[in-house]
């Protein structure tokens, strides 16, 4: 084993570790033995010195240790390669109908702190923790060996890195630079993706199946795609025969790409750069109505402190959507905030429907695509909640 020291847990704090939860918070630790620097590998033992697991440590984070393995093994090139190969193999078995997929979903693939998405021949890698950051070259080698990708783009620019004491790092990490607008195919539809500075790793891969599902309800309908980003739900809706598709986003840049994405698929749509809350209020005041509305806002909640304000935001936008829907209309409403539980989100949408004076039934509960799996021993990996509602 190539560990630098040992983390001894407090009494009765070993149960989550024994049950496979990959995080150890500062409060569970009695002491750290040995010369351990942040990012180093540590053995984790119970208060009675029973070996439990191996992980990497960071004293700058409330999550002191993230666990990599529950066996006595060496964390070397072979380890990373076999973990990565296993994650990639699990994706292959899903038979995903897209060239943009998540290959590695951090903790859910027992690779805490590491996100890797594949876009055609390129990989985009996010190192979210120090333990991954200091090993990124070794991990990049393993990724290339397993996938044979033409290049790896690093997008370590997520704000969570601050909690680890890390700054933002972006750029081509390995191989060739990708085209400025790389084309991917999702359920037969083409999308341009900007890997260098698009949101997240470039595309909201997690909404793939929800886009196709909602599209099935759009033939002949007037569709309002709110928080459209590069047009994902809108392109799918238009391709499925929507009568009209209005895409709304506050960013002009992403709407330009949305427009090109419609063109790529020989579809037409409308693109409006506006604050969603203001525009929907304006539509309501004008008496404008739609048959299908998609609400896919950005993460409103980053910490417990934001929760109340965010809940109000979710309620307001859902209330407006209910008010804008025609009789028997459809609302597809999402929250990607991990801190908002499915239960709480449903309560928020309930509050909105009451205030709107409408009736609605949930026709389907939606979630993240299967390449973003939820590890049973790490329920925190469940973050995307959606409700597909029929409204009258």
Residues in touch with ligand SAH (CB under 6 A): 204, 207, 227-230, 232-233, 248-251, 254, 275-276, 296-298
Residue with smaller CB distance to ligand SAH, 233 or 314: 233
Q: Residues 108-144, buried b or exposed e (16+ Cβ, 10 A)?
A: bbbbbbbbbbbbbebbbbbbbbbbbbbbbeebbebbb
Q: How far is the CB of 236 from ligand SAH (least distance, A)?
A: 9
Nearer to ligand SAH, 57 or 205 (CB): 205
Burial class (CB in 10 A: 0-12, 13-18, 19+), 285: exposed
For residues 229 and 262, which CB has a smaller minimum distance to ligand SAH in the complex?
Answer: 229
| Catalytic annotation, residues | 336
* Least distance (Å) between residue 386 CB and ligand SAH: 11
Task: Order across the sheet with 51-57: list the strands.
Answer: 23-25, 63-69, 51-57, 41-45, 5-9, 29-33
The residue sitting closest to ligand SAH, measured at its beta carbon, is 232
DSSP per-residue letters across 198-260: SSTTSS-GGGHHHHHHHHTT-TT-EEEEES-TTTHHHHHHHHTT-SEEEEEES-HHHHHHHHH
Nearest one of 377, 306, 332 to 209, comparing CA atoms:
332
DSSP code of residue 39: T
Q: Are 112 and 129 in contact (CB under 8 A)?
A: yes
Residue 258 Cβ vs ligand SAH, minimum distance, rounded to whole Å: 9
| Beta carbons of 377 and 67 less than 8 angstroms apart | no
- How many C-beta atoms surround the C-beta of residue 77 within 10 A? 13
Angle subtended at Cα 314 by Cα 101 and Cα 197, rounded to the nearest 5 degrees: 40
The distance of closest approach from Cβ of residue 312 to ligand SAH in the complex, given in angstroms and rounded to an integer, is 14
Residue 225 CB, nearest approach to ligand SAH (Å): 7
What CA–CA distance (Å, rounded) separates 221 from 7? 59
Beta bridge partners of 184: 191
Whichever of 138 and 250 has its CB closer to ligand SAH, that residue is 250
CA distance linking residue 326 with residue 324, whole number of Å: 7
Task: Give whichever of 139 and 317 is closer to ligand SAH, judged by the CB atom.
Answer: 317
Residue 204 CB, shortest distance to ligand SAH, in Å, is: 4
DSSP state for residue 46 in the 8-state scheme: -
| 136, 165 Cβ separation under 8 angstroms | no
CB-nearer residue toward ligand SAH: 228 or 368: 228
Cβ-based nearer residue to ligand SAH, 80 or 227? 227
Q: How far is the CB of 231 from ligand SAH (least distance, A)?
A: 7
């Amino acid at each position: 084993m190539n560990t630098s020291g040992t983390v001894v847990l407090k009494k009765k704090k070993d149960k989550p570790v024994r049950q496979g939860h990959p995080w150890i918070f500062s409060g569970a630790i009695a002491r750290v033995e040995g010369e351990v620097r942040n990012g180093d590998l540590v053995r984790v033992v119970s208060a009675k010195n029973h070996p439990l697991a191996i992980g990497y440590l960071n004293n700058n984070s409330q999550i002191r240790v993230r666990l990599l393995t529950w066996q006595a093994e060496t964390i070397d090139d072979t380890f990373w390669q076999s973990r990565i190969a296993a994650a990639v193999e699990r994706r292959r078995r899903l038979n995903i109908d897209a060239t943009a997929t998540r290959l590695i979903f951090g903790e859910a693939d027992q690779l805490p702190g590491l996100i890797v998405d594949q876009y055609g021949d390129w990989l985009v890698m996010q190192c979210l923790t120090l333990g991954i950051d200091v090993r990124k070259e070794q991990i990049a080698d393993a990724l290339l060996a397993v996938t044979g990708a033409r290049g790896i783009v690093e997008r370590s620019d997520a704000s969570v890195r601050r909690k680890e004491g890390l700054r933002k790092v972006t750029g081509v990490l390995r191989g060739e630079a990708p085209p400025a607008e790389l084309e991917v195919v999702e359920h037969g539809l083409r999308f341009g993706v900007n890997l260098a500075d698009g949101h997240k790793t470039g595309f909201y891969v997690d909404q793939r199946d929800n886009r196709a599902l909602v599209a099935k309800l759009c033939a002949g309908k007037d569709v309002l795609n709110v928080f459209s980003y590069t047009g994902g739900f809108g392109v799918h809706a238009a391709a499925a025969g929507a009568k009209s598709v209005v895409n709304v986003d506050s960013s002009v840049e992403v709407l330009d790409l949305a427009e090109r994405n419609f063109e790529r698929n020989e579809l037409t749509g409308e693109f409006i750069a506006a604050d969603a809350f203001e525009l929907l209020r304006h539509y309501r005041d004008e008496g404008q109505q739609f048959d299908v509305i998609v609400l896919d806002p950005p993460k409103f909640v980053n910490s417990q402190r934001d929760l109340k304000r965010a809940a109000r935001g979710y309620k307001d936008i859902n209330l407006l959507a209910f008010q804008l829907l025609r009789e028997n209309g459809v609302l597809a409403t999402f929250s990607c905030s991990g801190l908002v539980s499915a239960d709480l989100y449903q309560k928020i949408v309930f509050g909105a429907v009451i205030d709107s004076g409408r009736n609605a039934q949930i026709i389907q509960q939606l979630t993240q695509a299967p390449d973003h799996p939820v590890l049973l021993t790490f329920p925190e990996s469940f973050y995307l909640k959606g409700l597909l509602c029929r409204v009258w």
